[in-house]
Structure 1
Amino acid sequence: MNIYRLGLACTLPLLAACNDNNSPINITSETVSQQQLDTIVTNIEKRYPEATQEQKQNAADVVVRAIENLVFVEGGSFDMGDFRAPCEIPSKTDYRMDWTPEASCLSSPGSAFDGSKHLHPVTLDSYSISKFETSFMDMEWMRQINGLPVTRNKLKGYMPIPGEYLSRSDEEYKKLIKYHTEHTVATGTKSWQEAKDYCQWLGEISVLPFDLPTEAQWEFAARSRGQHYYYATNNGYRLLANDLHYDLQRERYVEVLESEINSSTELEDYIGQFPPNPLGIYGMSNNIGEWVNDWYNKNYYLKSPEHNPQGPDSGDTRVIRDGKNTKTFGRIDKSPEQDFYFSANSFRCALQNHE
Structure 2
Amino acid sequence: MKNKWLGFACLLPLLSGCNDAHSSISASSDTVSKQQIDTIITNINKQYPDASNELKQNALNTAVRAIENLVFVKGGSFEMGDFGAPCEIPSRTRNRIDWSPDVQCLSSFFSVETGTNNLHKVTLNSYSIAAYETTTLDMEWMRQINELPVADDNLSDGSIVKRNSEKYQRLLKYRNNRSTKTKEWQEAKSYCQWLGNVTVLPFDLPTEAQWEYAARNRGEKKYFATNNGYRQLKGSNYYNPNSGYYIEYNDKDVNASTELESYVGQWPANPLGIYGMSNNISEWVNDWYSTSYYQKSPKNDPKGPKSGVKKVIRDGANTMTFVRLPSVLKKEFYSPGTSFRCALQQTSPAF
- Return the TM-score normalized by structure 2: 0.92
Report the AA paired with residue 174 of structure 2. Y
Report the AA paired with residue 287 of structure 1. N
42-51 or 250-259, which deviates more: 250-259
Which residue number corresponds to residue 148 of structure 2? Answer: 148
Quick check: 1:175 aligned with 2:170?
A: yes
Task: Assess if the C-alpha contact under 8 Å between 2:84 and 2:103 holds in 1.
Answer: yes
Query: Counterparts of 2:314 and 2:27 in 1: how far apart (Å)?
Result: 33
> Equivalent residues in 2 for 1:122-201 (5 A)?
122-156=122-156, 161-162=157-158, 164-181=159-176, 184-201=177-194
Task: Assess if the C-alpha contact under 8 Å between 1:78 and 1:226 holds in 2.
Answer: yes
Q: 1:285 aligns with which of 278, 298, 308?
A: 278
Quick check: 1:112 aligned with 2:138?
A: no
Task: Assess if the C-alpha contact under 8 Å between 2:83 and 2:119 holds in 1.
Answer: yes
Q: Deviations over 1:47-67 (max 9, x none)?
A: 001001100000000000000
Q: 1:322 aligns with which of 312, 315, 324?
A: 315
Q: 2:302 aligns with which of 285, 300, 309?
A: 309
Query: Counterparts of 2:257 and 2:171 in 1: how far apart (Å)?
Result: 24
* Residue aligned with 2:325, SS: strand
Quick check: 1:53 aligned with 2:48?
A: no
Quick check: 1:227 aligned with 2:220?
A: yes
Q: Deviations over 1:66-97 (max 9, x none)?
A: 00000000000000000000111111111111
> Equivalent residues in 2 for 1:75-90 (5 A)?
75-90=75-90
Which residue number corresponds to residue 249 of structure 1? Answer: 242
The 1:268/1:339 distance shift into structure 2, 3 A limit, reads closer
Task: Assess if the C-alpha contact under 8 Å between 2:261 and 2:336 holds in 1.
Answer: no
Query: Counterparts of 1:173 and 1:229 in 2: how far apart (Å)?
Result: 40
- Return the TM-score normalized by structure 1: 0.91
* Residue aligned with 1:165, SS: coil
Taking every aligned residue pair, what percent have the same amino acid on both sides? 58
* Residue aligned with 2:154, SS: strand
Q: What is the CA-CA distance between 1:324 and the residue it aligns to?
A: 2.5
Query: Counterparts of 1:280 and 1:169 in 2: how far apart (Å)?
Result: 38
Q: What is the CA-CA distance between 1:175 and the residue it aligns to?
A: 2.1
Task: Assess if the C-alpha contact under 8 Å between 2:96 and 2:230 holds in 1.
Answer: yes
Query: Counterparts of 2:26 and 2:168 in 1: how far apart (Å)?
Result: 26
Query: Counterparts of 2:26 and 2:347 in 1: how far apart (Å)?
Result: 31
> Equivalent residues in 2 for 1:262-273 (5 A)?
262-273=255-266
Report the AA paired with residue 142 of structure 1. M
Q: Deviations over 1:227-270 (max 9, x none)?
A: 00000000000011121211122112121222111112222421
Query: Counterparts of 1:35 and 1:63 in 2: how far apart (Å)?
Result: 14
Task: Assess if the C-alpha contact under 8 Å between 1:212 and 1:293 holds in 2.
Answer: yes
Q: What is the CA-CA distance between 1:332 and the residue it aligns to?
A: 1.0
Quick check: 1:344 aligned with 2:337?
A: yes
* Residue aligned with 1:137, SS: helix
Q: Deviations over 1:159-192 (max 9, x none)?
A: xx34x211111122122222234xx000010100
The count of corresponding residues between Structure 1 and Structure 2 is 331
Q: What is the CA-CA distance between 1:99 and the residue it aligns to?
A: 0.5
265-274 or 293-302, which deviates more: 265-274
Q: Deviations over 1:257-285 (max 9, x none)?
A: 22111112222421111100000000001
Task: Assess if the C-alpha contact under 8 Å between 2:69 and 2:132 holds in 1.
Answer: yes
Query: Counterparts of 1:44 and 1:248 in 2: how far apart (Å)?
Result: 59
Runs of 4+ in 1 over 3 A off after TM superposition: none
96-105 or 69-78, which deviates more: 96-105
325-334 or 120-129, which deviates more: 325-334
Report the AA paired with residue 117 of structure 1. N
Report the AA paired with residue 198 of structure 1. Y
Structure 1 portions without partners, runs of 5+: 4-18
Q: What is the CA-CA distance between 1:337 and the residue it aligns to?
A: 1.1
Query: Counterparts of 2:173 and 2:84 in 1: how far apart (Å)?
Result: 45
Q: Please give the root-mean-square deviation of Cα atoms over the aligned residues, in Å.
A: 1.3
* Residue aligned with 1:326, SS: coil
Which residue number corresponds to residue 9 of structure 1? Answer: none
Query: Counterparts of 1:238 and 1:105 in 2: how far apart (Å)?
Result: 20
Which residue number corresponds to residue 8 of structure 1? Answer: none
Query: Counterparts of 1:155 and 1:212 in 2: how far apart (Å)?
Result: 28
Task: Assess if the C-alpha contact under 8 Å between 2:151 and 2:334 holds in 1.
Answer: yes
* Residue aligned with 2:93, SS: coil
